Amino acid sequence: MITWILIALTTFVSWMAFNNPGLLGKMQFNAARIIHGKEYYRLVSHVMVHASWSHLFVNMLVLFFFGRAVESYLVYFFGNKSTAIFLLLYIGGTLASNLWSLYKHRNNYYYNAIGASGAVSAVLFSFIFLNPWEKLYFFGLLPIPGILFAAGYLAYSWHMGRKESDHIAHDSHFLGAVFGFFFLALFKPSLLRHFIDQLFMLI
């Protein structure tokens, strides 16, 4: 249920920001304004706005498929605490994905970032943590075991983050993914054993 609420809210706020540059400017991540202007809300507000409909669609599509699945697992493992833990995962992924950019761009008022990619990466990697061999369909066509996709995703994000050759926050993707992968084990350490058992099940 919380996945549907997040999708609806994010879509609505992003749509509003598409038509209101002032709103977009107030919600985007800007490390200098956070550090020096004490606009701490920007640490999370940027997750609600996107650069384009395609940017929004991709993030919400991934959240739609994997958010609902993770919610189901959380109900099984955590019962009535599942909604709170999912929100902590989503918000925590947002905050964790910002850490490097917050430090790196702390004096750069011209650096801005938007989008839910860090939070969505956290949700996706929590799913992979719970189901390392579940096949993910790359571009909707090519089936790849989740754990192999995770390794490739992290390697690509790290490499592209070092190159800084495009306008994508690869560092945020990387950090959000790492956070999401280990997050659930913090609340239920036995899930780490579950992951190891799942990982070696097919080896």
Q: What is the CATH number of the domain that holds 143?
A: 1.20.1540.10
pLDDT at residue number 202: 62
Could you tell me the two tokens for 138? Answer: 């790359």
CA 79, CA 87: separation in Å to the nearest integer? 14
Q: Which domain holds residue 8?
A: 2-200
pLDDT at residue number 99: 93
CA 101, CA 112: separation in Å to the nearest integer? 10
Check whether 98 has a pLDDT greater than 90.
yes
Which residue bears the tokens 């008022």? 109
What's the total number of domains in the chain? Answer: 1
H or E, element range at 2: helix 2-18
Q: What does the pLDDT look like over 128-154, one tens digit per residue?
A: 999 999 998 866 678 889 999 999 999
Q: What does the pLDDT look like over 28-78, one tens digit per residue?
A: 999 999 999 999 999 999 999 999 999 999 999 999 999 999 999 999 999
DSSP 87-138: HHHHHHHHHHHHHHHHHHTTT-TT--B--SHHHHHHHHHHHHHH-TTSEEEE
pLDDT above 70 as % of the chain:
96
Vertex 42, ends 61 and 12: CA angle to 5°?
40
Backbone φ/ψ region at 80: left (φ over 0), alpha (ψ -120 to 50), beta: alpha
Q: What does the pLDDT look like over 172-182, one tens digit per residue?
A: 999 999 999 99
